[in-house]
Amino acid sequence: MIFSSGILAAASSGSDLSYIWEKATPEAKVIIVILGGFSIVAWSLMLQKLFQMRRAKRYNSFFETEFRQQKTVLSIYDRQLPVEGCPLFAVYTDGCVDLDARLKQPDNTRRTRLSLKSVEHVKRQIEGAVAREALRLESGLILLAIAVSGAPFMGLLGTVWGVMDTFSGIAKAGRADLAAMAPGVAAALITTVAGLLVAIPSMFGYNYLVHSLRVLTVELDNFAQTLASRLETEFLPDDE
């Protein structure tokens, strides 16, 4: 009996939604379709960024452990390892490319010391790489912010428009009873529901991703400082 009641309730809910969709104005249907597109984009972006940030966090942990075990700054760079999706490795590689170019001598050997000016140039290259990686991790989050802030207003627009059409129709018909008002008001309110269904998951996803982004950015800054300190220790003369 309980199972049968559940099936009947689901069927009734589906028929109610179909009825409301039929009563909705063309403008409300357009808004609902747009919100449906927003929802697809928002969920796709949330999943993509979630996997990207989790992978970045895992790879960062592996790379940082490996880097701390190296005796020289260029040890990992000299191995020419292909690593994708690791922000710390990208920052390290950019810094090492510039460092290697400044250490190279005409006979293809490397000098063991650099001037303070050269080390500062390498540090600025590392800082630029940190900024680029942070922007890469942040890319796409603006779409979630738009979904969070814009979807409820689009739903509200559809509701206000639908209610306006309902009252306009009632005024033309010359009768104001519940049977005449209810279908139009229900159809108008469905756009607000659609807007909230887009905005609420997007809000939770956006907040979680922003928190993850802050953690990764702090990791990038800390690694940049560690790398800069090792550069100074290894390549600056003691009197500088």
Residue 12, pLDDT > 80, answer no
**Are the C-beta atoms of 34 and 192 separated by less than 8 Å?**
no
Residue 174, pLDDT > 70, answer no
Q: DSSP character for 213?
A: H
Phi, psi of 104 (to 5 degrees): -65, 135
Q: For 22-54, what is each residue's pLDDT tens digit?
A: 767 778 888 888 999 999 999 999 999 999 999
Q: How far is Cα 102 from Cα 33, in angstroms, rounded to an integer?
A: 57
Average pLDDT value for residue range 172-200: 77
pLDDT confidence bin for 173, thresholds 50/70/90:
low
Q: Which amino acid is at 144?
A: L
Tokens of 173: 């018909």
Residue 5, pLDDT > 80, answer no
87: closest CA among 129, 122, 45? 129
